[in-house]
Amino acid sequence: MKDRRAVLASAVGALPALALGVEAPPANDAETCVRPARGPDAHRFPNHVVVTHEETRALFYDDLLAGKTVLLHCMSIVSEPTYRSVERVAALQPLLAERLGRDLFMYSLTVDPERDTPVALRAFAARAGAGPGWLFLTGEPATMADLRMRLFWSATAHAAHEHDHEAGHERDDCAMAMLRYGNAAVGLWGAVPAKADPRWIVQRLAWVRARDVAAGAPRRRGPAPLRS
Give DSSP secondary structure letters for 96-142.
GTTTBTTTEEEEEEES-TTTS-HHHHHHHHHHHT--TTEEEEE--HH
Per-residue confidence in pLDDT tens, the chain, 228 aa: 456 666 565 554 444 434 333 333 334 343 445 555 467 788 888 899 999 999 999 999 999 999 999 999 999 999 999 999 999 999 999 999 999 999 999 999 999 999 999 999 999 999 999 999 999 999 999 999 999 999 986 433 444 444 444 544 344 467 889 999 999 888 899 999 999 999 999 999 999 976 654 455 555 455 555 665
pLDDT value of position 197: 97
How far apart, in whole angstroms, are the C-alpha atoms of residue 19 and residue 51?
A: 9
How far apart, in whole angstroms, are the C-alpha atoms of residue 49 and residue 52?
A: 10
How far apart, in whole angstroms, are the C-alpha atoms of residue 48 and residue 139?
A: 9
pLDDT value of position 17: 39
pLDDT value of position 186: 87
Nearest Cα neighbor of 15 from 40, 39, 32 is 32
Handedness of CA 52, 54, 58, 63 (dihedral sign): negative
Cα dist from 82 to 107, 136, 157, 164, 179, whole Å: 19, 18, 21, 19, 16
Contacts of 183 (CB under 8 A, 6+ apart): 68, 69, 189, 208, 209, 210
